[in-house]
Amino acid sequence: MTRAEKTLQLSAIVSTLYMIFFVGILPIPEKITNDIIPYLPFWALVSFGAFLLGKLGYGVLTFNNVPDAYDELMGQIKEAKADLRKKGVEVGA
């Protein structure tokens, strides 16, 4: 089963459970039905956004931990500058 299929299956299950509780097919306490269930999609969206911002921040924080990629990129820049100079294009230092 691919990741997309698993994600689709999980989202279908969660959506079905939410609709069962939202419509009131399964009896749960009225306080939960009125005060919690209607706000779950908004809460999930905010939580997902916070997770993604945290993941992005961690990625930025650990970005400098790739010295091999830095060396490779600097080598490619030197090659590109040399190639441009060979073709007669003025390139900065």
What is the C-alpha separation between 88 and 82, in angstroms, rounded?
10
Assess whether 18 and 58 both reside in one domain: no
**How many other C-beta atoms are found inside a 10 Å radius of the C-beta of residue 40?**
13
pLDDT (tens digit, 9 = 90+) per residue, 28-73?
999 998 999 999 999 999 999 999 999 999 988 887 767 788 889 9
Which residue from 15, 20, 24 is spatially nearest to 44, judged by alpha carbons?
15
Assess whether 63 and 47 both reside in one domain: yes
pLDDT (tens digit, 9 = 90+) per residue, 34-45?
999 999 999 999
Dihedrals phi, psi of 29, to nearest 5 degrees: -55, 145
pLDDT at 62: 82
Q: Identify whether 92 is part of a domain.
A: no
Q: Identify whether 93 is part of a domain.
A: no
pLDDT at 65: 66
Q: What percent of the chain has pLDDT over 70?
A: 97
Residue 81 has pLDDT above 70, yes or no: yes
Give the domain range for residue 23: 1-35
Assess whether 81 and 48 both reside in one domain: yes
Count of the separate structural domains present in the chain: 2
Residue 75 has pLDDT above 90, yes or no: yes
Assess whether 47 and 73 both reside in one domain: yes
